[in-house]
Every structure is written in structure tokens, then in C-alpha cells.
Amino acid sequence: MSRLPLPTSRSSTPSTPRTPTAPTTPTSTTRARGAATLSPSPTPRTRATSTLSPEVPRPRTKSTASAVPRTRTTSTVPPVPTSPKPRQAAATKSPAPKPKAEAPSSSAAQLSIREAIALKRAEARKIKTKSPSPAPEDQVPPTNERIPEDDLYGRQSVKETVERARSTGLLNLATRNLPCIPSILFEAHLNVTPEPLQSVPEEPPYGVDSRKNAAWYEGQDLKTIKMGNNEVVEIQPEISLFGSLKSLDMHKNKLQSVPATLADLLFLSYLDLSHNNLTSLPDILYALPELTVLNVAHNALTDLRLGAYFADGPKKEYVSDDFFATPINRATSPLPNLVSLNASNNKLKSGSIDFANLPTSLKIVDLSHNPLGIRDSATQALVRKLAELPVLDELHLHHAEIGDDAFPADMPSSSFAGLHVLQIEECPVTQAGIKAALQGVSQKVTFDITNDLPPPGTLRVAVGKIIVKEAWELEAERRQRQRRGLPSDPEEAKELEANGGPPVIVKEYWEYDADNGLLTEGGRRRARAEAEAKKKEEEERKAKPTEPVKEAWEVEGLFTEGAKRRARAEAASKAQEQRSGNSRPTSPVSLSSPQYWDATTKTLTLPPSTPPAKGVHGRHFSLALGPSVSASVADIVVPTPTLPLTAILKEGFADNLTKLILVNRRLDRCFSLLPEDSPCLPNLEELDLEGCSLGDHVAVVRSSDAGAPRTMEALLPLIARLFPSLHALNLAFNSLPSECLTSEALSTLITCTSQRAGLRRLGLRGNGIRELDGFKTLADGFKGHRDVPGWKLDELDLRDNDIGKIPPELGLLPLGVFLVDGNTFRVPPRRVWEREGTKGLLNWLRGRIE
């Protein structure tokens, strides 16, 4: 009985002496280590395999098996008799000659089943390549569809990106060499197939969508489309069907025109069409009601017809022929909310710009690199109209064809009221001409160019060839002019030198010492003695005990209740005499007392005007300033209004006051102001009105008389108008509602202008605020801009309010401290700011912007 062993098996059989039972022939397929007996009828499943007799087991030797070479050819095995023969007889036979073309007889036995299968497949492939016509089943069906290659940047395919935008509302297909906006975008989001474009008769394949489609409850309206740096020539008119679109970026394409249906995007606020081939814009495009940023730079525009669509009168509502279509309410004036207009690098002339209809909300205008026109009356009219814009902050006219005639010397003093940056470098405009035109402006004009923003109240003008200087260079030049006796203003110094002013004597340091008597050793000794005497006097003054400040009950004559009653009666009679004599009453309060005024820190702290709690005796006394207060107690009584500005302005320290603390002054919630409404306390930087129970409006008394009538005025605009240098405002624990925090009021209070320094810290803790729509509107101005001119707010405290939702747009605000503890919202979770602080909270909010 024989068995067929597998060639690859490594069974652990005992090693026995090898006794060959049959002679091997050169054509037999045997192993090189022992004699094997072949079965006369091999099984069909084995090719050239041998059966070993049970008497001769196959030894397991690793070295001999590896010494046998493996070949790809196999030899046929003829039947061999199984009768045993002596080994000597086999040795006497001369073996048959071995053909050279055949492989060794023992190679086939060394191949495993897997190797043999691989060998057969290799031979089949060789035959297939040599055959002139492949088998029908091996042919690949032809196809015209081009399979897109893998993205070099590892991005998803266009189709996957379009599908993902259904759940995010943001589509970013920039830098993909697309010939048009993919039609699959309209099909996936709107279930609409747009008409084929003439420039793109057949769109390329956009890959497969391996991503699971978004569920119906995850779907969001598309709000942002980024198609910059592509090959787009046309935009489908069906783009108007995306009614919620807010941002459209098509820069660096090949657009030759834009469809008029863009005017149907009523919520569009950002439109970038720069670096294209546009020659004109549709007139109806200027009727977009919410557009704030329009960028059409680097095109071939020849006109800006802002008011052409409104030539026949305002057109507000458009109703489609479709019965079910909703009306479209367009703007009644050209781009009423436009903030930034960039039309640089075009072919615009001043006469082709409809400057009579420029939006009054413009803050940034860029008309550089345009042939506006030299010695052209239209250019002068354009500049005059730009000078009338009330909130214009930056005007760029560099490398434009414009001369001194565009800036006449008779420009009114109200021109460029809010302008901070004027760039007219590399133009025929001269510094003398622009200086004569701007001599009446309220800002300080400077021609020093630095990398920093100009300070408030300064107009920086760039003329001629620009040389950017660092701050330390300007300071070094200022000190050099000071040593030479020249004015600190560089322009005045140049003018003085040009007009042949008095000779300037430049002194050395030793000459200054000689003027002060410090050249000799005796003079230095006297100077040291005077310094020591001053130092000793200062130490003695500090060591001298100061007179203790007495409380009200400690003042002589007021120990008893009767004495206090008599003092109030005397004060009442004196006040009556003053009113009858038509003499202006003077304030009986001395706020310059060290109890209130700190000259070192320049801080005025008025005590709380709330009455104290009742004591154990069941009686309490009023601290109000009544008509019966006598002059003898003037130094212990303070005015009752929350903000007694009339009393503060009468003190000598009013111009030097930098910090005013009015905490818990809620007995008489009103502001006592002068009759004229003008800025006061010019150096006041910090105002603390915590716990004064102030609302959105405050009572205002514009007279020092107690019986004067009161008017109600909005709190935030009033504070912004009264204190122009205010940097920190604390309104914690008041009663400010959400309605008073409008974008206009907050912008007036926070933004830095030529009249205001701008807030850096704002405290609104514990006011019951529910919504932050005003801050959201301000944060929208940071979309697409890293810095917003005039914004200096760094700390915002909104703790302990009733805020139910924080808008994600607040993450765009460049805040260093943002406190939101103690509110009712649950998103974002508390761990977001507890672990990473303000930076982590702002990053989390920015990541949720739609």
C-alpha cells in the first residue's frame, strides 16, 4: 500500500537508512536525497510526483533541499517496475545521456503546489502576450470616460466635496482647474439641472462619491462658494436659486461677464470678482441690499455705473410671473451697506465713475492703478465727493493718473473728517499741493510712513517715493531735531530751514553741563548736596504722621441728632437766600479731600449713596444731600446724583482726572451735566459704574439747581459723547437690557475714531442680557479681514447674564479676555474655556461658523 505525500509537507518521520528499491532514470522526477518508487499510474491531480515506499521514509534535511536548483520545466515519468534490484546492478548500467535543453530531473519534485500554479500562470501570460488576438473574455471594453487621477493635495473629489457641502453650507473648489461651476452642485442641492454653457458644452467627470449622503435633517442652505483660481469663463444663471448665499469668491478665473441674476441673491454680503476679464458689470448688480465688500480689481472695467439701474426712480420689489414665486425686495439706492470697494488695476476714468451715487457707508475705497485723468474737472469732482463721505477711513489712489489739480486748496474744513490713510504715492501729486489742500482738516497730517497703524486723530499721507521707517527711527530723528533746537514736527523743521530761519546752535553735552553750572567739581558738589537735601525732605514728609480723616459723626458739633437737625436747617436757610438773590449757588462739597481724591493715581472715588442698613436700635440716618445741609458739614456730604459732573468740573483736578469710581451710587440715578452738551474730563480713561441700577436710558439734569427738569437720554451714546478718552468702562450689575446693545450704540462706544480713543475693556456682568445681536453685527465686519480699523477692544466680560446662545461669529473678534461664566447656554460646553481659556473658546466658535 502506497500513499501520495505532499511535497511541501514537513512531517516528523524517523530517520532510517536509505535503501533504494529501484534504479532511477535520468527522466524520472525524484528527489536527490533518496530513492523513490513511482507509481505506474499517477493520480490526475499530481504532476510528476513520486510515491515513496513505506520501507524508505523521506529524510528531513534542510541543506540538501536547498541545494537542488528549481527550474520551470518538468519531465515525463515512464512506468517503472516495482521489483527490487540490487544496488550494484543499478550502478553497472550506464545512464542515458542528459539533454542539454532539459532541466535537471529532480527540479520538478522541489516545487510546491503554490509554486507550480504560479509557474503555469506565468506560462499562460507569456502565451497570451505572444498571441496576435486575445481571447474575447480577456478584452477590456472600450470607454470614453476619463478616470480622474488622485488629487496631489490629498483632497476629496469634486463630487464628494459637493455632497459634503450639503451638511456644512460651505463649498470650497478653489484651485482645481474647473471650467465652470459643476452642474452636479445644482443637482445635489437644488434638484435642478442647469442649461449647458456655450463655453463648456461637455463637463469633465468629477469622480465618484464614496461618502454616505447627508441625511435630510443634516441639510443646510449653501452660504459660501469658493471657486477661486480656476478656468471658469461663465457663471450659470441658475446661481440665483441659492437664496441663502452670503459669500461668492470667483477671483483668478477667466470670466468675461457675470449674469444679471446675481442681483437676486438678497443676502450676498461678499463678492470677489478680481483677476478676471470683465469689461462691465450689470447695472442691476448695484441693487444688492446686503453687499458689504465688492472686489473687482485686476479687470478691464471701463465704467462704474452705480446709479444706472435707479435712473427711473427707486425699484424695490420684483414679482416673478410664477404665481408661487416670492417677491424680491432689492435696494432702493446703490449698494446701501457697501463698506469696501476695490476697483484697482482697471481702465477707469473719473468721468466714467458715477461718483454722485457713491454709498455713504464706504470706509475703504481703492482706485489705484487707474487712468483717472490729470487736469480733468471730473477728477476734482470725484475727490470732492470722496472727501464728503462721512466714515471714509482709507483712500488708495497710488499709481493713478492724478495731479495737484485734483486736490484744490479751497477744500472745506469738513473734508476727510474720518480719514486715517491717504495713499497717493507714485503719482504727479506733490507734497506741497496735498499739504495746501489738507490744511483745514481736523486731523494731524503726517507724512511719516511706518508699518504701524496711525494713532487716533492722525491722517497719514503717502506721497512720492515711499520710505517706510520704524518707530525707533522716527524717535531718533525727533531727538536729533530737539538737540538742534528745531521744532519736533519734521515738516515745520524743513520749512524753517528752507526759509532761512535763525541759526541753530548745536551744543555738546558738556556745554549743557556748563550752562547748569556742573562743569567744575564745586558745581557738581553743590548739585549733589541739593539732591541729598531734597531726598531728605521727601523722606521726612513721608515719615510725618498724616492727619486722620474723620467720619461724619466725629465732626465737632454733630455728635447728637439735635446738632445734625440744626445744621440741616442752617443749610436750608442759606440755600434759600442764595436762590432769592439770583446768585449761582456754589457746590458745598469739597471733593479734593484725600478721602475722595488720590493725587498719586489721579483717581476720584465717591462713596456709595445707598442708605446703610438699619442697626440694632431700629433707626438710620439719610446721607442724601438735602436743602437743609449747612456749610459746616460740606466736607462730609457728597452730591446724590450717580454722576455729579457739575461738581467734579468745578474742582482743580478735573483736567487731570484719569479714573472715576462710582460704585453703588443708586440713590438718585441721574447724571448732573452742564447746560452745554460738550466733551468733558479730557483725560478720563477709566469709568466704574458698577451696581448703580442703570437702564438703557438715564435721567439727565443740565443744571446745578435741584429742581431743574430732567430728560431721558440713551446711556451708551451719552457716555461715548461725554468722555472721548475713555479706555475702560465697567457697567456690571446694572439693569441694561439686550435692546440697548445695538450695533450702532456699541460701535459708537467701542470703535476708535478721530474724536474718540476707543474702548479696550468693557464689563457687562450681571445685567440680565439675553441676546448678543449687536456684537454679532460688529463681528461680521471681521469676515475676510484680520484687522478692522478702529477696533481696540481686548477684554469683554459677559458673566452672570441670561445669554441662551453665543453666536459663532463672536469667535472672529480679536479678544484677549472673553468671560462667559454664569449664563444659561449649554453650547459650547464649559470644558471648552475651562481647559483652554479664551483662546480655546474663540477657536471653538470660529470652527462653527457656517
Could you report the per-residue pLDDT of 10-20, keeping only the tens digit for each?
433 344 444 44
DSSP for 103-147, written as a single string = PPTTSGGG--HHHHHHHHHHHHHHHHHHSSS--GGGPPPP--PPP
pLDDT tier, 32 (very low <50, low <70, confident <90, very high otherwise): very low
Q: Which residues make Cβ contacts (< 8 Å) with residue 451, sequence separation at least 6?
A: 468, 470
Strand partners, 317: 329
Task: Please compute the mean of the pLDDT values over residues 744-765 and round it to a whole number.
Answer: 89
Average pLDDT value for residue range 314-325: 55
- Higher model confidence: residue 252 or residue 667? 252
Q: What percent of the chain has pLDDT over 90?
A: 27
Q: How far is it, in rounded angstroms, from Cα 671 to Cα 649?
A: 13
Contacts of 494 (CB under 8 A, 6+ apart): none
Cβ–Cβ < 8 Å for 648, 654? yes
CA distances, 339 to each of 61, 232, 422, 556, 611 (Å) = 89, 27, 17, 66, 51
Nearest to 228 by CA among 204, 207, 208, 255: 255
Has residue 97 got a pLDDT over 50?
Answer: no
Residue 799: pLDDT band with limits 50, 70, 90: very high
Average pLDDT value for residue range 612-636: 43
List Cβ neighbours of 112 (8 Å cut-off, separation of 6 or more).
7, 8
Q: At what angle do helices 471-483 and 490-498 cross, to 10 degrees?
A: 40
Spell out the long-range contacts of 330-334 with Cβ–Cβ below 8 A and sequence spacing 24 or more. Answer: 330/263, 330/266, 330/284, 330/287, 330/288, 330/289, 331/287, 331/288, 331/289, 333/357, 333/359, 334/286, 334/287, 334/306, 334/307, 334/309, 334/310, 334/358, 334/359
Band (33; pLDDT cuts 50, 70, 90): very low
Single-letter amino acid, residue 27:
T
Q: Does residue 109 register a pLDDT over 70?
A: no
Short-list 427, 457, 430, CA closest to 442: 457
**Residue among 171, 198, 172, 194 at smallest CA distance from 183:** 194
> What are the tens digits of pLDDT across the range 839-850?
889 888 888 885
99 pLDDT higher than 70? no
pLDDT digits (tens, 9 = 90+) for 146-159: 444 456 667 888 99
Rounded Cα–Cα distance for residues 147 and 157 (Å):
12
Query: With 70 as the cut, is the pLDDT of residue 476 above it?
Result: yes
Q: Tell whether the model's pLDDT for residue 334 goes beyond 90.
A: yes
Above 90 in pLDDT, residue 84? no
**Where are the strands (E) in 147-231, listed by range?**
170-172, 224-226
Contacts of 785 (CB under 8 A, 6+ apart): none
pLDDT at 791: 87
**Mean pLDDT across 277-289:** 94
| DSSP state at residue 342 | E
Residue 35 has pLDDT above 50, yes or no: no
Instruction: Assign 574 to helix, strand or coil.
Output: helix
Helix (H) or strand (E) segment spanning residue 538: helix 521-543
pLDDT at 614: 46
Q: What is residue 318's predicted lDDT score, i.e. its pLDDT?
A: 56
Give me the phi and psi of 271, to 5 degrees please: -135, 115
State which amino acid sits at residue 488.
S
Task: Say yes or no to pLDDT of 636 above 50.
Answer: no
Lowest mean pLDDT among 548-562, 656-670, 797-811: 548-562
From residue 310, give the alpha-carbon distance in Å to each of 313, 330, 333: 5, 11, 7
- Of the candidate ranges 358-372, 548-562, 763-777, the one whose mean pLDDT is the lowest: 548-562
Chain mean pLDDT for the chain: 75
pLDDT, tens digit (0-9, with 9 covering 90-100), for 232-244: 999 999 999 999 9
Class of domain 592-612+639-847: alpha beta
Cis amide leading into 828 (omega within 30):
yes
DSSP class of residue 423 equals: E
Asked if pLDDT for residue 836 goes beyond 60, the answer is yes
Cα-based angle 578, 579, 585 (whole degrees, multiple of 5) = 55
CA-based radius of gyration for the chain? 46
Q: What is the pLDDT of residue 210?
A: 60
pLDDT at 209 over 60: yes
Q: How much is the pLDDT for 367?
A: 95
Q: From 3.40.190.10, 3.40.50.2300, 3.80.10.10, 1.10.357.10, which CATH number describes the 224-469 domain?
A: 3.80.10.10
Average pLDDT over residues 767-771: 89
The distance of Cα 432 from the centroid of its chain, to the nearest Å, equals: 39
Is the pLDDT at 776 greater than 60, yes or no? yes
Q: Which of 347-356, 361-370, 649-658, 801-810 has the lowest mean pLDDT?
A: 649-658
> pLDDT > 70: what percent of the chain?
66
Q: pLDDT confidence of 74, banded at 50, 70, 90?
A: very low
Whether 221 shows a pLDDT value over 60: the answer reads: yes
Rounded to whole angstroms, the Cα distance separating 725 from 707 reads 31
- Cα end-to-end span (Å), the chain: 82
Fold agreement (224-469, 592-612+639-847): yes
Residue 216: the pLDDT is 64
| Average pLDDT value for residue range 655-681 | 85
Residue 346 scores a pLDDT above 90: yes
- pLDDT per residue over 519-573, tens digit each? 677 777 777 888 888 888 888 777 766 656 555 445 545 555 656 666 666 666 6
**Residue 515 half-sphere exposure toward CB, CA atoms < 13 A:** 6
- Which helix (H) or strand (E) segment holds residue 531: the answer is helix 521-543
When mean pLDDT is compared across 661-675, 700-714, 835-849, the lowest value belongs to 700-714
Lowest mean pLDDT among 50-54, 286-290, 699-703, 772-776: 50-54
Is 430:469 a contact under the CB 8 Å cutoff? no
pLDDT at 247: 96
Indicate if the pLDDT at residue 646 is higher than 70. yes
Q: Please, which pLDDT band fits residue 611 given cuts at 50, 70 and 90?
A: low
- CA quadruple 764, 811, 288, 347: dihedral sign: positive
Between residues 344 and 324, which one has the greater pLDDT?
344
Rounded to whole angstroms, the Cα distance separating 819 from 57 reads 87
For 373-421, write each residue's pLDDT tens digit.
Answer: 988 889 999 999 999 999 999 999 999 989 888 998 888 888 898 899 9
Kindly list the domain boundaries of the chain, sorted by start residue: 1-90+103-128, 224-469, 470-519, 549-583, 592-612+639-847
pLDDT mean over 100-114: 54
Distance between CA atoms of 301 and 389, rounded to whole angstroms? 23
Alpha-carbon distance of 699 to 671, in angstroms, equals 6
C-alpha grid cell for residue 228? 477661486
Instruction: Give the pLDDT score at 245.
Output: 95
**What's the pLDDT score for residue 121?**
78
pLDDT for residue 652: 82
C-beta atoms surrounding 144 within 10 Å: 4
